Amino acid sequence: MIIAILNQKGGVGKTTLSINLAASLARSGARVLLIDADPQGSSLDWAAMRQETPLFPIVGLPRPTIHKEIAQIGKDYDHIVIDGPPRVTELARSAIMAADVILIPVQPSPYDVWAADEVVKLIQDAKIYKETLISFFVINRKITNTAIGRDVGEALAAYPIPILDAAITQRIIFAESAAQGKAVYEIDQTSFAANEIESLKDALLKETNP
């Protein structure tokens, strides 16, 4: 399965989700490749911070030919996660055309909901050529016990894309793990953060393999 994580708005936790989802898939025994398609190279920066043996390989591919190259690059892997660019560009279109599934991380903020509009339009355009393309919103950096955390689901209901039944809460451990080049489960595999990532992976696999 090829999973692209995309949102034109920066700072939504796209790279954090990409890394930890890839780590969760790899932890289950799958062969996983992470493609860093963000010109900022945040996933590659994470890998450079790591002292331990890599959990999975990371390839930098910030060019709009991902959909043409991915069959060759990813031929030896069970899953490929694409950490997409932070803007709607030809690079984003290429990532969408390469993917089987698009995850759109959205923070519980009106600005994030509004910003999702452009990537939703890109996905709808891509489905003309790729009818099997699946997409989900992922509520990320949710703040517990707040009205805005609850209301974001209602706001996203206006879009023709479902919300994945697994939200990720704002937690310090995500920043701590990133600074060490680790996945959250490597910091504390019993943590709420690690459990939420596992739930995200399980929900994604359930939706794509009913």
* pLDDT value of position 29: 95
pLDDT, position 149: 59
- CB atoms under 10 Å from CB of 191, counted, come to 15
The per-residue pLDDT for 142 is 83
Q: Tokens 């990320």 correspond to what residue?
A: 140
Q: What pLDDT is recorded for position 145?
A: 64
CA 138, 144, 145, 147 dihedral sign is: negative
Q: Look at residue 175 in the predicted model and tell me its pLDDT.
A: 93
Residue 189: the pLDDT is 93
**Res 75: pLDDT:** 92
Mean pLDDT by 10-residue block, N- to C-terminus, for the chain (210 residues)? Answer: 88 89 96 96 94 95 95 95 88 95 88 83 92 94 68 82 92 94 96 97 91
- For residues 91 and 81, what is the distance between their CA atoms, to the nearest angstrom? 15
Domains and CATH numbers, the chain: 8-208 (3.40.50.300)
